[in-house]
Structure 1
Amino acid sequence: MKMIISYDKNSTLTDEDLHMLTISDDWSFNQTAADLVSNASTSLMPNRLFWVAELGKAQKTAKCPINKAKKLPRHACLPSNVVRHQKTCALVGNSGILLGSDCGSEIDSKDYVVRMNLPLVRGFEKDVGKRTSMTIMNSETVRRLAISAGLKNRSQDAYESRLRGIEGSVLVIHKASIRGLLEALRRYGSRSFVGLASKTMRFGNDKEFNEINRIASTIAGQRFTLWPTMGLTTVIMVNTFCDRLHLYGFYPYQKDLDNRPIPYHYFPDDPLKPIIPNVNGHHNMSWEYNLHRELHRQGVYRMHLGPCRVK
């Protein structure tokens, strides 16, 4: 597969240049290109990558054989195809570029809606929609969730209402975060979710990134060596089970396409210590952003950066 993107690590384009590059509204889906990317990413198909468990009130712990070879817990015997193939998906990032976009109804019109790191939705439905089918959380989000669940001042807990709003949906975490998530759910009254836990992928938060980098390098046609963001990992994974993928809020800059300042997230930070994005420079945000722009151009999936228009 040869899908060389127009920007590389030696490019003279700066972040100031990149954040003002627009994407074409004249977009059409390219089945051939989409199949190439999907075929390169099969190792990240959810039903291969994760074991499945019901969490909270619906947790199954009895009458379920233990797979001793894989050392799975008793509640890991749910159907392996819990994430079914979808025709249309919306993958919603958390960038402040979503504010004023009026993309909510378009996002909710998709068959499957994926969000990341338990964002605030209530109050922003007009721009980000209200439906959630799957939420992918890194270890830091699960840690913050567990801390918030134990706060004595319940008014400081930003996450209980967010969990209530997505009850019954799929939560995706790393296996190491299971204990923290279960403890948080217990404190919140054991709300019901379907949990997917990966043994190997931590969504860009540690050095277990070789498979993501291999796939990204294959797709881009050039070597990618820095830690992949959770966003890139999620895009690659969702593309394996969705025919037509749409990205919203995937924009790493704090100035919009018209050079106006925008917040890093569309919603305010929670009362805990704010997360400083890419503080150690582990991620190559511009490389990833330009990869998304190129795959949009080639018709693999569609990026939405400006206001959504009713067609």
Structure 2
Amino acid sequence: MMTKARWRHVKQFGIVLCVCVPLYILLSRQRVYTKTCKRLCNKFNECFKISQAVLVYDDDVNESDMTFVQNLMPELSPLQYISEFLWGTFNTRDCHIQSYFRHVHLPSRQRTCAVVANGGILLGSNCGDEINSHDFVFRANLAPIQGFIKDVGYKTNITMLNFESLSRIYRNFTEKSTDSKLDRPAITDRLQFLNDSILWFGKSMQRQEAKLKFKKVIEVLRQGYRFPIRVAYSWKSISIERYWNLQHHATTGFNIYSVATQICDNIALYGFYPFSELEDGSGLQHHYYDDVKYFFYRSHVHNMPLEFSKLQHDAKKENIRLITKKCK
């Protein structure tokens, strides 16, 4: 004989069944449901703007399986949608990456970060030890480290490549002719300092077959040279010009800084100084590792002095430092 408590459970199960089955049949007519994410969250429940999210491929993912899909919101099956609908999570705008994106993860939040640009002001700065002391170090475009450790340090956690640098590396490793500005030995020398750090292409994967070039570069570096590098791309091509009111294309260094503000509690900026002279009037070379004659810091492409003024404004905050003096 069925007890009252058991009968109550049967009735509750029947009600749930009567609701879910018709709902599933109705929702199954649409194959997928798109979830809108404003932020992506990692396993530590740290969330970052999806428009500036850095997606790092898991170490066991082969380069041939890297898809670099951008601008794609998660698509849920009818069963997933029903589950999220019943739990009230479908309309949440914070999306945990492990639930919706396969084979990738997000960097964790960092206490202190160094963003190292390539300006000539770093030469003779003696900032190397200070840069190395940070929890996380960003660098740009495979600038050389060997021979400059005293000034720029050696620690590297992530290196952002722009399209020009990616194309130059691709040409040197896949074509017979080499680029005189950055040949294969120079690239391999620079890569030696990356160890297992992250090589990150932050722009659109559609431009001039950037996806194919990046995959080929990763394949050559991993398979041919055994460099244990990790690979990252951006969920969306980093495009911060409107937000920062730049009116020109942002430089690689400024793009890195914008993303670092999402990841880092405290940021120190090195090598950002877009002028050919110091305050005392002494000359300054363009990069810390070489000089470029007749370089225009303000052009139709970039407006570096404007970016610098915005960094100066941000440096008034307690958690942002803009280093333009020698460190010791």
| Structure-1-length-normalised TM-score | 0.67
Between the aligned partners of 1:288 and 1:282, the Cα distance in structure 2 is: 13
1:133 is aligned with what amino acid? N
Percent of aligned pairs with the same amino acid: 27
Q: Which one is further off, 111-120 or 254-263?
A: 254-263
* SS of structure 1 residue aligned to 2:199: strand
TM-superposed CA distance for 1:93, in Å, is 0.6
Alignment of 1:161-240 (within 5 A): 161-173=189-201, 174=203, 175-176=205-206, 177-188=210-221, 189=224, 191-202=227-238, 209=239, 212-217=240-245, 224-240=246-262
Structure 1 unmatched ranges of 5 or more: 1-40, 203-208, 218-223
- Spell out structure 1 runs of 4+ moving beyond 4 A: 66-71, 151-155, 273-280
- Deviates further, 254-263 or 150-159: 150-159
Deviation at 1:298, TM superposition (A): 3.2
- Residue 134 of structure 1 aligns with which residue? 158
Q: How does 1:40-189 map to 2 (within 5 A)?
A: 43=49, 49-54=53-58, 59=62, 77-81=102-106, 83-150=107-174, 156-157=183-184, 158-173=186-201, 174=203, 175-176=205-206, 177-188=210-221, 189=224
SS of aligned partner of 2:315: helix
State the distance in 2 between where 1:276 and 1:152 align: 30
| Distance in 1 between residues matched to 2:293 and 2:159, nearest whole Å | 20
1:268 and 2:290 aligned:
yes
How far is the alpha carbon of 1:281 from its aligned partner? Answer: 2.1
Offset at residue 161 of structure 1 (A): 1.6
Distance, in Å, in 2 between the alignment partners of 1:275 and 1:138 is: 22
1:245 is displaced (CA, Å) by: 0.4
SS at match of 1:294: helix
Deviation at 1:229, TM superposition (A): 2.0
Residue aligned with 1:167, SS: coil
The reply on whether 1:255 has 2:277 as its aligned counterpart is: yes
The 8 Å contact of residues 45 and 241 in structure 1, kept in 2 or not, is answered as no
The offset of 1:226, in angstroms, is 2.3
* Superposition RMSD in Å: 3.4
Residue 304 of structure 1 aligns with an amino acid whose one-letter code is I
Q: Distance in 2 between matches of 1:156 and 1:196?
A: 24
Structure 2 residue matching 1:165: 3-state secondary structure: coil
- Indicate conservation of the 8 Å contact 2:274/2:297, yes or no: no
Aligned to 1:29: none
Structure 1 pair 146–275 and aligned structure 2 pair: CA distance change class (3 A): farther
TM-score by length of 2: 0.64
Distance 1:194 1:70 in 2: 24
**How far did residue 200 of structure 1 move?**
3.0
Q: How many residues align?
A: 242
Deviation, 1:179, is 1.9
